[in-house]
Amino acid sequence: MLPTGAGKALVIAKLIEELLADYPDMRILNVTHSAPLVGQNYQEFLGLLPFAPAGIYSAGLNRRDARAQVLFCGIQSVWNKVDQIGDIDLVIVDEAHAISRNANTQYGKFFKAVRQRNPDSRTCGTTATDYRMDSGRLTDDLDDDEAVDPITGAPLKFKLFDDVVYEIGIGELIDQGFLTRLTSQKTTSKIDLKGVGTRGGEYIPGQVSEAAERIIEAAVAEDMVLSEGRRAGLFFSTSKENAAHVAEAVRRHGRTCAVLTSDNSHETDKIFKAFRAGEVWAISSVSMITTGTNFPFVDFISLILSTKSPGKLVQILGRGTRNSPGKTDCLIADHGKNLAYHGPIDQIRPREPGKGLGEQPKKLCPQDQMDVNGNCGCGELIPISIMTCQCCGYVFPPNEEEKITAQADNTPVLSTEKPWSVVSSRTFRHHPGKDGKPDSVKCTYMVGMKAVNEWHCCGHKGYPKSKADRWWILHGGSRPFPSSVLEFLERQHELMDTTEVQLDYARNPKYPDVVAHRVGPRADNDNAPAPANDNRSIAEDWEDIPF
């Protein structure tokens, strides 16, 4: 099991290469549910073994190489063609989470036919989620309603996968630099799920689509601010109507956005080509780019949908984890309360059939708030129902706002994401450079009773300069970027407030690093002495603050 973006196609190719080295006559079939995935896996394999006896059996790719020793297939094309294809020694299923519990689907009938021809055949699978999109783990039995026990008359079952033989988490791969970090951003436009019913373990599409329609304009307007300076975006909706509305709203804000639904699926290649070329800034879609698409440059994802499917959420957010030159993170704007419902995606676990909704969502034990006993929290992620932190003893206030519907803004996309702290004020001052280095802007945030400092190196070069420029554009500053401390201070009226910061105490437990920011609307009068005004005059005692 590998997270999305970890390179499952390469893993499959390498597995086949090593198997053929040990067993030259082995017949191997790689099957998946998407024609583009079939082509990607085939090309990845040929990259390792250019002269291998490989072929494709996919109607969508107009290839039917039934007798190739290594065959890359679409399940829709081969589920009833086993007699034509012949004996198979090993079936490798890519995106194995698409296999239903019901053995009478295309996958189930295909596996039965393969085993009837060759009882010694084996099956393995790769996936980012070791549970099915409907419910239950992939290691659970498949239900075969067509085959019954001759004595009891009960439906027979058969097991497809015995165990997960290898697994690595998304957090580990991010820490090792193989995947890009996902970050979440607080959003104010939220789908109101009150009155939205559930059918088959998922929100009723028509009802959640209607609820989403009411917030699209506000959500997109918010996203345009959050995504300023981002290379490319993906917008996910529940219905075709929602997707079209989202694209229209994005275009009204002056950015290009294509719509991709089942209605124009014939234009998929054209849209993907334009997206990769930068001719289109975003794609607004419904169930068309959740699996099998490879856009490493995507650094902004907006969820204007709500889902109870953990697999669907993981697959959607996985679109942003691939590494790309110049990409430091992928920002997630969740307008559907999905993170509040499921919790951080690296801690999502499947629910078992008949066992309720599985593990409850999580909340953060706050590090910047005092409880009734005067104690600060520890930042631990704990179940939302617990009112006293089991790690530090922090006592949560008895507040109805702790419910899921009110916690969406505070749930991180990854459990390793640092907690957010409210900023009461922000000030700037000139900071002289040392040892011949250029001067910089010292920015001080007041977080509770603590002063937290950050330096903006607008007169430097390289990474320090680009970091300062990213901060400037995030806060709504206009181009060109300030090239000196004096210019920064003169143009500070362009900036929006910093409302929250994310702090990391790993390097220094006393003086934390500011690793992320959240911004608010521009102040009506930036020179008014309001408590949260960012441009007030600097008192002399600020000089005594340690840094």
CA angle at 413 for the pair 407 and 419, rounded to the nearest 5°: 65
Give the highest mean pLDDT range of 39-48, 128-137, 341-350: 39-48
Q: Taking 90 as the threshold, does the pLDDT of residue 18 lie above it? A: yes
Which of 124-133, 214-223, 313-322 shows the lowest mean pLDDT across its residues? Answer: 124-133
**Per-residue pLDDT at 288:** 81
Ranges of CATH 3.40.50.300 domains, the chain: 8-159, 178-410
Write down the pLDDT at residue 212.
96
What are phi and psi for residue 181, nearest 5 degrees? -70, 140
Do the beta carbons of residue 155 and residue 143 sit within 8 Å?
yes
The reported pLDDT for the residue numbered 348 is 63
Could you tell me which of 216, 131, 227, 232 has the C-alpha nearest to residue 185? 227
Q: How far apart are CA 274 and CA 292, in angstroms?
A: 18
Mean pLDDT of 446-457: 92
Average of per-residue pLDDT across 37-63: 91
Give the pLDDT score at 510. Answer: 81
Answer yes or no: are the C-beta atoms of 93 and 125 closer than 8 Å: yes
Please tell me the CATH code under which domain 8-159 is placed. Answer: 3.40.50.300
Tokens matching residue 330: 């992928």
Pairing of strands 63-64, 54-58: antiparallel
pLDDT at 536: 42
Q: 178-410: what CATH class?
A: alpha beta
Cα 447 from Cα 421, distance rounded (Å): 7
Contacts of 153 by beta carbon, 8 Å cutoff, 6+ apart = none
What is the percent of the chain with per-residue pLDDT over 70, rounded to a whole number? Answer: 80
| pLDDT score at 533 | 44
Helix then strand count (H, E) for the chain reads 14, 24
Residue 318: the pLDDT is: 86
On the question of pLDDT at 529 being above 50, the answer is no
Q: What is the DSSP letter of 160?
A: S
Instruction: Provide the pLDDT confidence category of residue 86 given band limits of 50, 70 and 90.
Output: very high
Check residue 366 and give its pLDDT: 76
Tokens for 205, please give them: 């599409």
Q: Tell me the average pLDDT of the chain.
A: 82
Structure tokens, 429:
């001052």
Report yes or no: 238 and 305 within 8 Å, Cβ to Cβ. Answer: yes
Residues 96 and 91: their CA atoms lie apart, in Å, by: 11
pLDDT at 526: 43
SS (H, E, C) 250-292: HHHCCCCEEEECHHHHHHHHHHHHHHHCCCCCEEEECCCCCCC
Query: pTM value?
Result: 0.62
Q: Place 224 in a pLDDT band, splitting at 50, 70 and 90.
A: very high
Residue 6, H or E segment? none
Cβ-proximal residues to 15 (8 Å cutoff; 6+ apart), any chain: 92
Q: What's the average model confidence in pLDDT over 341-353?
A: 64
Torsion sign over Cα 110, 114, 117, 119: negative
329 contacts 299 by C-beta, under 8 angstroms: yes
Q: Quick one: average pLDDT of 231-237? A: 95
Residue 54 has pLDDT above 90, yes or no: yes
